[in-house]
Amino acid sequence: MSIDWNHFTPLAALVGGALIGLAAALLVLLNGRIAGISGVLGGLLRPMKADVAWRIAFVAGLLGAPLVYSLVAPWPEPQIDAGSGALILAGLLVGIGTRYGAGCTSGHGVCGISRMSPRSLVATGAFMVAGFVTVYVVRHLLAA
């Protein structure tokens, strides 16, 4: 297996990771909230008056950041190696897993692990193992 050096972007990954960590830290320090996307969106589906503004701002930032970034850098050409059916099934499975796991990879993986939450350590391990198994099954057992 060869390495595609065009996709090796350690500086961008470092800056992006630092920004995600900073945003998660600021949200918990200034607002007392965990930056778990499923929880943020779930709270918008069951809104409480004092809880809506920051959630809308958070989601607006998630949607707006790529648009702002595109002003200084070109959009990368997307390459999705799956059909619509596989993407829909994957989305449903992630949603089910998020519900059963009481959180998503951002909540458990970024915020929970940084707090050394045992539940988040187990959940993140489960996410990772499920991903490894899924890739192995799809690429090696189901591949034509």
pLDDT tens-digit profile of 57-68? Answer: 999 998 998 889
pTM of the model: 0.73
Q: Domain locations in the chain?
A: 5-141
Which residues of the chain, if any, have pLDDT below 50?
none
How far the first Cα of the chain sits from its last, in Å, is: 19
Neighbours of 102 (CB within 10 A): 14
